[in-house]
A and B are shown apart, each in its own frame.
Chain A
Amino acid sequence: GAGVSQTPSNKVTEKGKYVELRCDPISGHTALYWYRQSLGQGPEFLIYFQGTGAADDSGLPNDRFFAVRPEGSVSTLKIQRTERGDSAVYLCASSPSGQGSLETQYFGPGTRLLVL
């Protein structure tokens, strides 16, 4: 389809392992956002990309979290030395340009991460 896609849909890993979560935005959207949602909570902002660069990474909880978007399209969220507290749904969203007036963000289905 033409929406935001995320892979994998579910990821189970062991504490201490490294994981990568992928987001494929809507074609042509230059702005991309990562959020994290814990059970019973609203999404929590992690990082926002404008093109290839991270315009705002103030929501990344610590240096175990890192995200890239090397070609300005697909983005990968990387989590090192995972902890049980990292278990959540990781949501990706995109918007057309992120410039000027604020735009609607369109969300993907999320990746459910479980750290055992």
Chain B
Amino acid sequence: AQKVTQAQTEISVVEKEDVTLDCVYETRDTTYYLFWYKQPPSGELVFLIRRNSFDEQNEISGRYSWNFQKSTSSFNFTITASQVVDSAVYFCALSVSRIAGNNRKLIWGLGTSLAVNP
């Protein structure tokens, strides 16, 4: 079975602080993809990053960085110098590749609500 755990329900920081959102996943598949999405108060899910199971390189995009470690089944997300506009719910999700069948659904964590205060 597949599962995604985001242990942090809510995080509150002050602007300019760095913050790390944790994501731990479970799957027996060897080929899979991990995603992070942002859901601001407007409600629309915004794609942030996709990472496949064969690429453990960390990635940086502006103030955002991601740390993928297969040894601990984690795919953590760090926001550097947080801003008020970063306030949102952040979801980590998992999708597995199946040779047979057409299973393309995303398995989601419960999300972490980040509040960045001025």
Contact = CB atoms under 8 A, between A and B. Distances in A.
Contacts, number: 66
Interface in B36-68: 37, 42-47, 50, 52
Nearest to B111: A42
A45 B104 CA distance: 10
Interface residues of A, number: 29
A55 interface: yes
**What interface size band does chain B fall in?**
20 to 34
Interface string B97-112: 1000111111111110
A104 B35 contact: yes
Interface string A82-116: 00000001010101001001101111111010000
B102 A50 contact: yes
B108 A108 contact: no
Nearest to B45: A107
B47 A104 contact: yes
Contacts of B37: 107
A33 B44 contact: no
A93 B106 CA distance: 11
Interface of B: 4, 33, 35, 37, 42-47, 50, 52, 91, 93, 95, 97, 101-111
30 contacts: A33-B104, A35-B106, A40-B110, A40-B111, A41-B110, A42-B108, A42-B111, A43-B45, A43-B91, A48-B102, A55-B102, A56-B102, A56-B104, A56-B105, A59-B105, A91-B45, A93-B45, A95-B104, A98-B102, A101-B52, A101-B97, A102-B33, A102-B52, A102-B95, A102-B97, A102-B104, A104-B47, A107-B47, A109-B44, A110-B44
Given A41-B110, A41-B111, 18 more contacts: A40-B111, A42-B93, A43-B45, A43-B106, A50-B102, A55-B104, A56-B102, A56-B105, A93-B45, A95-B104, A102-B97, A104-B50, A105-B47, A105-B106, A106-B47, A107-B47, A109-B43, A110-B43
